[in-house]
Chains A and B, each alone.
Chain A
Amino acid sequence: MAGFKYILKRMAWSIFVLFGLSILIFCIARVIPGDTATMALGSTASEHAKELYREQNHLNEPLPVQYFYWIGDAVRGNFGNSTQTKRPVATDIKEFLPATLELIAFAAILEIIGGIGLGVLTARKPGGLLDNSVRVTSYLGIATPSFVWGILFMLIFCHWTHLLPTIGRLSSNIVPPKNITGLYVIDGILTGNTAAAWDAFKHIIMPGTALALTGIAQSARMTRASMLDNMDKDYVSAEIAAGIPMRRVMWVYVLRPSAIPAVSMIALDIAAMLGNAFMVEQVFSYPGVSKYCLNAILNKDLNAVVGVVLVIGVSFLLVNIMVDIISAFLDPRIRLQGGTI
């Protein structure tokens, strides 16, 4: 029960954060660009047209009032039209976001399993063969940007071996599955269209892996470090001395307290992927929201930027709440005292 109250408290807190975020975005949308009407209609528009636009869009009201009109629209998903695609921004986001979510979901699963798994395995024998090879590889993983991995993968798996498709989200001869969640792999499985699911899956292997590599390296090192830290504690000696099998000691008794810092890092890293995915989306011509946002920035497509930034911000908040829930599950001190570690 105490745990539930704690989560509620954290959620209430995130509403404040959301409020702050919306003010920030409002500034991007209204305050920074100068004259909004000129931005919207172009510098060639007549003064009369601009005045009419201002009147219609409440731009003559004081800023706080404007904020309420603006947030009202934003909450209803009305961000105006994109100057690039000439469509409502919301429609664009609905189209591009699921692609990125699918990519990130794959990368996230890789990062969680790979990062934590390698962390535990290397902590078992520090200085051993596995530990040293992971250490060297992880330096590479951290130091090499994901787009370089992307290009490397393309060379190996497409150009030389033809194992995987190069670009896009789906091969041209495959019809997208019926839209249920927007994630092709899931929709493909749900509708029994396994050919589409498999094809879509093959398309996310390379960009997803490239996106996850840095995070895997970092989270493996972090898990390893906190595992080693905890393994020196007397309670671990006591568990070993009680004859509890080493594997169980490592994967249950040491991992649980050690996972807490790693989990927070991984979660925030996953949230950050929404913004960072543009590199691999660009390299693989993957039609995701991150690439869409990059183009919007390059083309000064303000409405689109505002829409995507808001989506990313809300995702960050959701991830933060999830981190809170997971940490509370892992650590009774957080759950029962509402305190920190």
Chain B
Amino acid sequence: MVEQKQPILRIEDLYINYKVYGGYSYVIDGLNLNVFPGEKIALVGESGCGKTTTVKSILRVLPKQAKIAGGSIVFDGHDVLNIKPNELNEVRRRKMSMIFQDPTASLNPVFTIGKQISDSIKYSGLADRKDKKAIKERAIQALNDCSMPDPERIMGNYPFQLSGGMRQRVCIAMALATASKFMIADEPTTNLDVTIQDQVLKLIRNLTDEKDMSLILITHSMGVARMMADRICVMYAGNIVENAKTEELLEKPQHPYTVGLMNSIPKLTGDSILSGIPGRLPSYLTPPPGCRFSTRCPHAFDSCFVKKPPFYDIGNGHQVACYLHDKSVPQSIKEEAVSNE
């Protein structure tokens, strides 16, 4: 919200690739992202565009096949990519938490819920490490905050004894119990039915608001993004292609990909954004040299196939990575491109 301040998170020119059979998958391709203190951001894009990869790199929990090939991530004064392990652990404990995408896989199957929550609290420095009672109280408080019924009993349960929705709430409770400045939520409401979905989102919104935390929320749903975020970042094939305040973006989408997304959602009420644009994501093994959307873009012209477009600032904090907004491209070419359907 408060954009005159320094960003709390600044990602610059980030490149990440995965080692796969037969070569490298060049997934994240020079990504830039700023998040300001207290700001809530929605990261939106179709499945496989690299949302999870991006946020995992912030906490340095990428799988071992992943390699950060370039760029910088600075969080609250810490150079995350060149940080000492101890300092990194301090950041993880005290400043940032993350809710992972798959609630069935984000709890350890052989330890009780109580043990898992208590351990995160123990290392977060929010309670005295030896004060078991205080830690337990905090854990129960966290479960209570997530309107978990009968938290005392849940603490003694194993993940397989809980429903998917309950597990998801446990994950959220765990993240919220230890978060103080920054929260990352990777599709926290997939697998939840609609009523709980709403409840969980409100919970995240309220708790982050209460502590004035920043939030990166990953979602497939424009409806969720509208409800939760101050700003929306649209991601396509490893890049952020458009970035604007929520209302601005929903009213005046500029990037052809964003426009395609919007057209594919009837009335923006929150359906999935998987379909609507013909074609699919390019191969990350041999990505297109220019704009990565050029292979699907109805308006693509010469420049689009040659060089990756930079971000163009179009005022009001609205940025688009598309040559249609390059002032040096003659108007005639743009008009011809746009008339191409």
Name A's B-contacting residues (CB within 8 A).
Answer: 126, 231-246, 253, 256-257, 330-333, 336-337
Instruction: Please tell me which stretch of B84-92, B216-224, B271-279, B280-288 contacts chain A, meaning at least 4 of its Cβ atoms lie within 8 angstroms of it.
Output: B84-92
Choose among B101, B105, B112 the residue with the greatest number of A CB atoms under 10 Å from its CB: B105
Residues in B whose Cβ lies below 8 Å from that of A236: 108
A241 to B57, CA, bound (A): 11
Interface positions of B from 89 to 126, Cβ below 8 Å from A: 89-94, 96-98, 100-102, 105-112, 116, 119-120, 123-124
Residues in B whose Cβ lies below 8 Å from that of A233: 105
Looking at chain A's contact residues, the main secondary structure is helix
Contact string, B72-86, partner A, CB cutoff 8 A, digits 1/0? 000000000000010
- Cβ of A90 to closest chain B Cβ, rounded Å: 43
A237 to B55, CA, bound (A): 12
Given contacts A245-B89, A256-B110, A336-B161, contact A238 B100 (CB under 8 A): yes
Can you identify 27 A-B contacts, CB atoms within 8 angstroms?
A: A231-B64, A232-B63, A234-B101, A234-B106, A235-B100, A235-B109, A237-B100, A238-B107, A238-B174, A239-B119, A240-B61, A241-B97, A241-B98, A242-B97, A243-B90, A243-B93, A243-B120, A243-B124, A244-B123, A245-B89, A256-B110, A257-B108, A330-B110, A332-B109, A333-B109, A333-B110, A333-B160
B105 touches A241 (CB 8 A): no
B160 touches A238 (CB 8 A): no
Flag whether B53 is at the interface (Cβ < 8 A): no
Interface residues on B, range: 35 or more
Flag whether B24 is at the interface (Cβ < 8 A): no
Q: Closest residue of chain B to A126, judged by CB?
A: B64
Given contacts A243-B89, A257-B109, A331-B110, contact A238 B123 (CB under 8 A): no
A126 to B161, CA, bound (A): 34
A330 to B110, CA, bound (A): 7
A333 to B158, CA, bound (A): 8
Given contacts A238-B100, A242-B92, contact A253 B123 (CB under 8 A): no
A333 to B105, CA, bound (A): 15
Flag whether B178 is at the interface (Cβ < 8 A): yes
Flag whether B171 is at the interface (Cβ < 8 A): yes
A286 to B111, CA, bound (A): 45
Told that A243-B92, A243-B94 touch, could you supply 9 new A-B pairs with CB distance under 8 A? A233-B105, A237-B100, A240-B59, A241-B96, A241-B98, A241-B100, A242-B93, A244-B123, A332-B110
Flag whether B334 is at the interface (Cβ < 8 A): no
B171 touches A238 (CB 8 A): yes
The 4 closest A-B pairs by CB, nearest first: A243-B93, A243-B92, A242-B120, A237-B61
A237 to B96, CA, bound (A): 14
A237 to B56, CA, bound (A): 9
Q: Closest residue of chain B to A125, judged by CB?
A: B64
Contact with B108, one of A239, A243, A336, A337 (Cβ below 8 angstroms): A239
Residues in A whose Cβ lies below 8 Å from that of B124: 242-243
Name B's A-contacting residues (CB within 8 A).
Answer: 56, 59, 61, 63-64, 85, 89-94, 96-98, 100-102, 105-112, 116, 119-120, 123-124, 158, 160-161, 171, 174, 178
Residues in A whose Cβ lies below 8 Å from that of B96: 241
Residues in A whose Cβ lies below 8 Å from that of B92: 240-243
Given contacts A243-B89, A333-B158, contact A238 B119 (CB under 8 A): no
Residues in A whose Cβ lies below 8 Å from that of B85: 246
A337 to B159, CA, bound (A): 13
Residues in A whose Cβ lies below 8 Å from that of B119: 239, 242, 244
- Cβ of B91 to closest chain A Cβ, rounded Å: 8
A330 to B112, CA, bound (A): 12
Given contacts A241-B98, A245-B89, contact A235 B123 (CB under 8 A): no
A257 to B111, CA, bound (A): 9
A333 to B85, CA, bound (A): 34
Residues in A whose Cβ lies below 8 Å from that of B160: 332-333, 337
- Cβ of A330 to closest chain B Cβ, rounded Å: 7
B89 touches A336 (CB 8 A): no
Residues in B whose Cβ lies below 8 Å from that of A241: 59, 61, 92, 96-98, 100
Contact with A235, one of B90, B107, B112, B178 (Cβ below 8 angstroms): B107
A245 to B123, CA, bound (A): 9
- Cβ of B234 to closest chain A Cβ, rounded Å: 25
Q: Closest residue of chain B to A260, judged by CB?
A: B110
Given contacts A243-B90, A333-B160, A336-B158, contact A235 B106 (CB under 8 A): yes
A253 touches B108 (CB 8 A): yes
Residues in A whose Cβ lies below 8 Å from that of B93: 242-243
B97 touches A235 (CB 8 A): no
Residues in B whose Cβ lies below 8 Å from that of A239: 108, 116, 119-120
B109 touches A238 (CB 8 A): no
A50 to B293, CA, bound (A): 95
Q: Closest residue of chain A to B58, judged by CB?
A: A241
Residues in B whose Cβ lies below 8 Å from that of A333: 109-110, 158, 160
Residues in B whose Cβ lies below 8 Å from that of A231: 64
A190 to B76, CA, bound (A): 62
A238 touches B110 (CB 8 A): no
Q: Closest residue of chain B to A330, judged by CB?
A: B110
A254 to B156, CA, bound (A): 20
A238 to B186, CA, bound (A): 12
Given contacts A234-B105, A243-B90, A243-B123, contact A256 B97 (CB under 8 A): no
- Cβ of A127 to closest chain B Cβ, rounded Å: 9
Given contacts A333-B160, A336-B158, contact A242 B123 (CB under 8 A): yes
Residues in A whose Cβ lies below 8 Å from that of B120: 239, 242-244
- Cβ of A254 to closest chain B Cβ, rounded Å: 9
A310 to B187, CA, bound (A): 58
- Cβ of B282 to closest chain A Cβ, rounded Å: 25
